[in-house]
Amino acid sequence: MLNLAPVALFVYNRPDHTKKTVEALKSNTLSADTDLLIFSDAAKTATQQTMVDAVRAFVRNIEGFKSITVVERKSNLGLAASIIDGVTTVVKAHGKVIVLEDDMVTSPYFLQYMNDGLTKYAATKKVASIHAYVYPIADLPETFFLRGADCWGWATWEDRWAWFEADGSKLLAQLSQRNLLKTFDFNGSYAYSNMLRDQIAGRNNSWAIRWHASVFLLNKLTLYSGKSLVTNIGHDGSGVHCGESDSYASELLNSPLILADIPLTENQQAFKNFEQFFRKNNLSLLRKFFIKINTFIKKFL
């Protein structure tokens, strides 16, 4: 008998994105044997109500899964509170969970990879989570570990999710006291620590930076695939937390991924590859910024 993890899907006010996410998930090889739990946040303002209603009308009529449960929030929780509450609820009931948001299109082999990872590392407390997205980086290993956690198509177990620390101030203090800020920021190439500071100051409400920091401080690992099984379609300006960018667009892996035994340690070459990608992407964004500034200035010359 299959013992597949349920999928928790978090949706809000983007019906077109939600449809693409669900259709891709339904095309997965294990979808018919998978329980799907959908958490629909309530509208924050009256102007968003129509789109929230459209999303809810769609998700109420989804077919193609073992079971479908729709949780319609009565008030607006926001993404962070909705995910924290939803993941906690699901892992308490099922012991494990696969997590998606409404802008994540998956490979047909996404569910197979996630369930294989959850099964393989269920008793390995060194592993905190399984992750399905990877940046468009060439020459990565087929699978590898990095320290910390991630947020674009991921899975975990109840005992690992218990490590989540909601207090960003505690996390930042520990990172600073243990002299880990530079490593946490991929040697200064990606400002994760600034994201955490912004969360503490209320400038963002990220659950993901706190999940990453919680796992990182415990020196736990996340399994990545060398080729992405998720692509994020939310970088089109439609998302609450995502701007417009094509820097993270990854081609989906369209063949099964067999999980071989690999060392239970952070892959240093993959770490360097991520660092190089971040540095290159930072330069690209800087160039685009200056192009926009120059274009704006020329209008007034």
Q: pLDDT for 197-252, tens place per residue? A: 999 999 999 999 999 999 999 999 999 999 999 999 985 544 444 444 567 888 99
Give residue 126's identity as a one-letter amino acid code. Answer: K
Share of the chain above pLDDT 70, in %: 89
Q: Tokens standing for 43? A: 């509208």
Q: pLDDT for 105-154, tens place per residue? A: 999 999 999 999 999 999 999 999 999 999 999 999 999 999 999 999 99
Q: How many CB atoms are located within 10 Å of the residue 255 CB?
A: 9
Whole-number pLDDT of residue 244: 46
Spatial distance between the Cα atoms of 159 and 156, rounded to a whole number of angstroms: 9
Which residues are 143's β-sheet partners? Answer: 225
Q: What average pLDDT does the structure give for the chain?
A: 91
Mean pLDDT of 167-191: 98
